[in-house]
A and B are shown apart, each in its own frame.
Chain A
Amino acid sequence: MSETEEIWRKRLERERAARKQAEALLERKSLELYESNRSLQASYDELEVRVAARTEELSQANVRLQEEIAERLRIEGSLRTSESQARTLALVASRTVNAVVITGANGKIEWVNSGFERITGYRGEEVIGRTPGSFLQGPETDRETVRYMKERIVRGEMFECDLLNYHKSGRTYWLHIEAQPLFDESGRLTHFMAIETDITERRESEQTLRESEERFRTLADSAPVLIWMTDARERFFYFNSTWQSFTGRQLDSEIDQGWYAGVHPDDRARVETEFCKAFRDRISIRTEFRLMHRDGEHRWILNTGVPRLTQDGRFEGYVGSAIDIHELKRKTAALAERITQAALETEIGYSVTQFGSLEAILERCANAISRHLGTALTRIWTVPADAPDDLAVLELKASVGDCSPPPQPEHRIAIGEFKIGKIARDRQSVLIQDIENHSKMIDKAWAHAEGLKTFFGFPLIVENRLVGVLVAFGRRAFPETIVEDLKSVADAISVGIERKNAEQALVKAKIDAEEASRSKSEFLANMSHEVRTPLGAILGYNELLTDSSVEGAQRVEIHERIRANGQHLLQILNDILDLSKIEAGRLFIEKLQFAPVDVVSETVANLRPRAEEKGVGISVVQTGPIPQRIISDPTRLRQILINLLGNAVKFTPAGKKIAVGIEVRPDEDMLVFYVEDEGIGITPAQRRKLFKPFEQGDSSTTRQFGGTGLGLSISKRLADMMGGVMDVTSEPGVGSRFSFLLPLSKIAVSKWSIQSIPVRKPTQESPSENLTRTSQGSALDLISGSRVLLCEDNPDNQRVIRFYLKKAGFTVDLAENGRIAIDKALSEKYDLVLMDMQMPELDGYATTRTLRKAGVDLPIVAVTANAMREDSEKCLDAGCDDYVPKPIDPDRLINTVQRLLMVRRGPLGTIR
């Protein structure tokens, strides 16, 4: 047999043994039951025997009793004969407060005591021989009781009952009646004896109690308050119907501790403890808590209870009442909120108008919010006033609270980042009543550690511009209406920030204006100095020329110095003009499509002669592919490059080299033009001043190298206007590299190419020169002797221009102003008019327009000191055919005049 089988066998044996035990137990129990049944039967039988015996005993006792009564009556009868004994009996009967009546077997009264007379109001002789019911009972007497009494009397049995009787006066009263039949020796009923107690008072007090209880219930149920009671063991046993209709629960579910189920879970433990404590000390209780209303809402109630004591001071439990104070509480809270809000608004309104830094003002605002709303941490972030639109950051300006600040962010965050940045981005107020469960963007570990549960945040907006964000953390729930309530506060803070920003902007503007004014004065002083220097040289050299001892080569040298200084002066004036136009915002950048390579090669071609003359080599470098065409301003680009290259030539000593390059820096998205020299270089300190007007690397530089010091300043402004950047790297003594960078995004690149830069021959050739050259001889002969009307008010200019014109073979007539010019042009015959544009009385523009209007179709050449391109356009608009800038370049003047005369004369040589 295996072990398992062995175990199962043993188990079976044990189960069997257990079953046998159980069976034995059952059998024993059955036997016990049988035995107890039998003994029960035996007891029953015995009881029956004893009952029978007892009945027998009783009837015998009855007989004995009747015999005794009969005996007593007999004795009484004999007593009656005894006067003294009769007196004693009368005394007893009269002293008793109860009424005693003895009637015969027929029910008629045979004897009454004085108590009867007192209670009923009838005297004995009035009632003897009458049945008591015939005069004592009345309409309110209970018929049922009367019938019961009659039955017992008929059957000769004792009875006991309460009955309403009528006093002789008609007043009713209550009696408790105990009536006993009396028998004679033979067992025959002879009399009834009734002892009657006046129980009116007891009945009335019972009635009063019942009525008072009834009144209490009625009162309690109709009362508008919730009423409850406990018994002495503090068990709640009564809740009035007002309570039941409030909770919507039946009495049986409220009694005992049942009503606690309706108390708000958050209040329950407290309320239970309060009741427990009050009951223990038997003191009155007063507590507020939320109780579930039948509509499912918890409403605040005020519950009061006092111990109930009987008159003798015995404790009977508690009685209490409760009233619904929900609305009251809500209104009180709302009122408190409004007061808080008004106080807060006042304080904020005051704070933002105070003096002090923005930080100080916002600190006061945050403080006020913390104090009035009980926030744990209040912070105000602002958008920096001078921040550009695309620099989206917020800076922390005020932080007030009794908790540690969140670990991140610290003092500067990007708009859109974190909760605060999100409020700024969305421009939406936020209210979170449960950080734990409802916010992904707040550091929960921190909030938890600080006990922070709630949050609100406002974007601070003025006229649709975001100026900051106000946020606060709390440890308790905020009113749901807080976002709406605090709108005016947020507005006031916003306006405060805006006002402070504006104030700061004003201060800055004032400083800037002062700075600008100062630099303008400096500029003027510098310009005056710069102009004076070459002018002084010119005047000085002129003085030398008047000295007759100066002769020959010396004179030529002096003429050259005068010319060079004059040129320099002109350059200074042109640069000043450019700069002032730029500063006045009157210089415009064009957008034209052109090949950048062409501009580079033109520039190099222009400056190569000067460089070669000096012994400086220029190489052109192109690295990688560059765009074939770009959209920008070629004129300004050329101006910048000429300036850079001109400087390089100027500062590079003979034998050294200059590299001009163009390349694309793809990682920076820039098209770069650069000029690299092996010149004197620039120190970092000098570099800072480099792009400022009249500041050369060293003031001694001007003396050594010449130049106005305005070139880089102009270049930089032009670069700015074109959306580009000027950059310089340099090492003194080794060389400098000036770059001009144009963002590819701003120049709408069309096509990329590797294109070598053609190296052009330097040329001064103009179309008119070509013409002059190709039609040499005959053409010039044709126009020689042509009559030119020179309209010029300045005697020096008259003299100079007339000199050049006469030298070229023309006849010159002079008009000092516009009026004379018009008169002469209309009355006499001329081949061409040279018109100075700036004249007193009638200027060149008006004169030209008048002439054209009058039908004069002579070529008119404008002579103007306003060398800018816009000026030349203005001349052409007025009706001029071409223009020549002042100061007069003799070659250019003569070429222009010859060309126009040639065109006018036509191929056949006739004047049209």
Chain B
Amino acid sequence: MKGIVFCEFLEMVESEDGFGMVDRLIESAKLPSGGSYTAVGTYDHAELVALLIAYSGQKNLSVPELLRAFGKYLFGRFVVLYPVFFENKRSAFDFLSHIDSYIHVEVRKLYADAELPKFTHRVLDHNRLELTYTSAKHLPDFAEGLMRGCIDHFGETIELNRQAVVFDGVESERFTLTRS
């Protein structure tokens, strides 16, 4: 998993609960990397899971809840860090339907080693978009958080439903977005 995810996670924790909390998480998670992350590096995603479990214990929040919150937060950071991906994107549907075909393609050019999830999209009609999330790491809550962050960014009212499915023989999560 790319180092930026770890960095941003720790940034979020720090801004939320101070560096003391960051330190506690790192100490208690017993991380192979020792908690030193650089955005350009790549780390085992199990470390993020360990950090999340530790944070979950501290905050008395479930890991899925944390993942959704972090996803929302991270999307906001993406907007700041990678404005190029938001150029000419008029709506959440516009953005979300271009993850696989454009954004991930570009990300892969920068980070050949990035392990990216797959977002297969299908337009149901002008107000409904179906996104199927497939990932080796299987973090559907994280994906949901990111989508909610995206919806918030475009300031739209979109209803989000999810359902676990088996897609192409792989355990996946299907999100249905309904615009009102």
Residues of A within 8 A of B (CB): 4, 7-8, 10-11, 13-19, 21-22, 25-26, 269, 272-273, 276
Q: Chain B's interface: helix, strand, loop or mixed, by majority? A: loop
Task: Tell whether A14 pairs with B26 under 8 Å between CB atoms, given A7-B20, A21-B38, A22-B38.
Answer: yes
CB-CB < 8 A to B126: which residues of A?
A: 269, 272-273, 276
Pull 25 A–B residue pairs with CB atoms less than 8 Å apart, ordered by A.
A7-B19, A7-B20, A7-B23, A10-B23, A10-B26, A11-B19, A11-B22, A13-B36, A15-B36, A16-B36, A17-B34, A18-B36, A18-B38, A18-B41, A21-B36, A21-B37, A21-B41, A22-B40, A25-B38, A25-B40, A25-B41, A26-B40, A269-B127, A272-B127, A273-B126
Which 7 A-B pairs rank lowest in CB-CB distance, beginning with the nearest? A17-B36, A22-B38, A272-B126, A14-B36, A18-B36, A18-B38, A7-B23
Quick check: is B87 within 8 A (CB to CB) of the other chain? no
- Please give 12 more A-B residue pairs, beta carbons under 8 A apart, in addition to A4-B20, A14-B34, A22-B40: A11-B19, A14-B35, A15-B36, A17-B34, A19-B38, A21-B36, A21-B37, A22-B39, A25-B41, A269-B126, A272-B126, A273-B125
Complex interface: chain A residues within 8 A of B26 (CB): 10, 14
List of B residues within 8 angstroms of A15 by Cβ: 36
Which residues of chain A are within 8 angstroms of B19 by Cβ–Cβ distance? 7-8, 11
Most buried by B among A13, A21, A276: A21
A17 to B20, alpha carbons, bound, how many Å? Answer: 19
Q: Which of B7-33 contact A (CB under 8 A)?
A: 19-20, 22-23, 26
Chain B residue nearest to A20 in the complex (CB): B36
Residues of A within 8 A of B125 (CB): 273, 276
Q: A19 vs B127: C-alpha distance in the bound complex, in angstroms?
A: 46
Q: Contact mask B34-57 → A, CB, 8 Å, 1/0? A: 111111110000000000000000
Smallest CB separation, B96 vs chain A (Å): 16
Q: What's the Cα separation between A4 and B20 when bound, in Å?
A: 8
Q: How far is the CB of A542 from chain B (nearest CB, A)?
A: 112
Q: Which residue from chain B places its CB closest to the CB of A6 in the assembled complex?
A: B23
Cβ of A236 to closest chain B Cβ, rounded Å: 14
Q: Which residues of A contact B35 (CB under 8 A)?
A: 14
- Chain B residue with minimal CB distance to A22? B38
| Chain B residue contacts of A272, Cβ below 8 A | 126-127
Number of A-B contacts defined by CB within 8 Å: 44
Taking Cβ atoms with an 8 Å cutoff, the residues of B that contact A are 19-20, 22-23, 26, 34-41, 125-127
Inter-chain contacts of B37 with A (CB < 8 A): 18, 21
Chain A contacts for B41, CB-based, 8 A: 18, 21-22, 25
Give every chain B residue within 8 A of A10 (Cβ-Cβ): 23, 26
Per the bound structure, the CA–CA distance linking A152 and B127 in Å amounts to 63
Bound-state CA distance A235–B35 (Å) is 50
* Alpha-carbon distance A276/B129, docked complex (angstroms): 14
Chain A residue nearest to B36 (CB atoms) is A17
Write out the residue numbers on chain B whose beta carbons fall within 8 Å of the beta carbon of A273. Answer: 125-126
- Complexed CA–CA distance, A26 and B38 (Å): 11
Chain A residues, CB < 8 A from B23: 7, 10-11
CB closest residue in chain B, given A8: B19
Chain A contacts for B36, CB-based, 8 A? 13-18, 21
With the chains together, A665 CA to B4 CA distance in Å?
95
CA distance A4 to B19 in the complex (A): 9
CB distance from B107 to the nearest CB of A (A): 17
Residue of B nearest to A280 (CB): B125
How far apart sit A11 and B20, CA to CA, in the bound complex (Å)? 10
Which single residue of chain A is at the shortest CB-CB distance from B27? A10
In the complex, what residues of B have CB within 8 A of residue A21's CB?
36-38, 41
Chain B residues within an 8 Å CB radius of A269: 126-127
Compute how far the CA of A8 lies from the CA of B23 in the bound complex, rounded to whole angstroms.
9
A702 to chain B, nearest CB (A): 92
Q: How far is A15 from B7 in the complex, measured between Cα atoms in Å?
A: 11
Which residues of the other chain, A, contact B34 by a CB distance below 8 angstroms? 14, 17
Q: Nearest chain B CB to A31's CB is how many angstroms away?
A: 15
The smallest C-beta distance from B159 to any residue of chain A, in angstroms, reads: 15
Q: Shortest beta-carbon distance, B124 to chain A, in Å? A: 10
Nearest neighbor of B180 in chain A, beta-carbon distance: A269
Task: Write the chain A residue with the least CB distance to B39.
Answer: A22
Q: A21 CA to B40 CA in the complex, in Å?
A: 9
A36 CB, min distance to chain B CBs, angstroms:
12
Residue of A nearest to B125 (CB): A276
CB distance from A597 to the nearest CB of B (A): 86
Return chain B residues, CB-CB under 8 Å to A26: 40
User: Nearest chain A CB to B93's CB is how many angstroms away?
Assistant: 11
Residues of B within 8 A of A276 (CB): 125-126
A93 to B10, CA, bound (A): 83
- Least CB separation from A19: chain B residue: B38
Distance of A21 Cα from B76 Cα, bound (Å): 26
Contact residues in B for A11 (Cβ distance below 8 Å) = 19, 22-23
Q: How many angstroms between the C-alpha atoms of A273 and B23 in the bound complex? A: 54
Per the bound structure, the CA–CA distance linking A156 and B38 in Å amounts to: 66
Q: CA A143 – CA B115 in complex, angstroms?
A: 61
Chain B residue contacts of A7, Cβ below 8 A? 19-20, 23
A277 to chain B, nearest CB (A): 8
Question: Contacts of A8 on B, CB cut-off 8 Å?
Answer: 19
A272 to B179, CA, bound (A): 13
Q: With both chains docked as a complex, state the minimum distance between the C-beta of A660 and any C-beta of chain B, in angstroms.
A: 87
User: What residues of B have a CB within 8 angstroms of the CB of A22 in the complex?
Assistant: 38-41
Q: Which residues of A contact B22 (CB under 8 A)?
A: 11
Q: B127 to chain A: which residues have CB within 8 Å?
A: 269, 272
Q: How far is the CB of B27 from chain A (nearest CB, A)?
A: 8
- CB nearest to B14 among chain A residues: A11
**Min CB–CB distance A25 → chain B (angstroms):** 6
Q: How far is the CA of A705 from the CA of B40 in the complex (A)?
A: 129
Of chain A, the residue at the smallest CB distance from B21 is: A7
Q: A25 to chain B: which residues have CB within 8 Å?
A: 38, 40-41
Bound-state CA distance A735–B23 (Å) is 107
- Cβ of A287 to closest chain B Cβ, rounded Å: 14
Bound Cα distance from A11 to B37, whole angstroms: 11
In Å, the complex CA distance between A615 and B39 comes to 128
Cα–Cα distance between A15 and B40 once the two chains are bound (Å)? 14
**Closest A residue, CB atoms, query B41:** A21
B residues less than 8 Å from A14 (CB atoms): 26, 34-36
A479 to B96, CA, bound (A): 44
Question: How distant is B177 from chain A, measured CB to nearest CB, in Å?
Answer: 16
- From A260, which residue of chain B is reached at the shortest CB distance? B126
- Complex: A16 Cα to B38 Cα, angstroms: 10
Q: How far is the CB of B95 from chain A (nearest CB, A)?
A: 15
Nearest-CB distance from B82 to chain A (Å)? 19
Q: Please give the distance in Å from B6's CB to the nearest CB on chain A.
A: 10
Give CA–CA (A19, B37) in the complex, Å.
8
Q: Which of B34, B38, B125, B127 has the most chain A CB within a 10 Å cutoff?
A: B38
Nearest-CB distance from A740 to chain B (Å)?
Answer: 79
Return the chain A residue nearest B26 by Cβ. A14
CB distance from B41 to the nearest CB of A (A): 5
- Least CB distance, A784 to chain B, in whole angstroms: 124
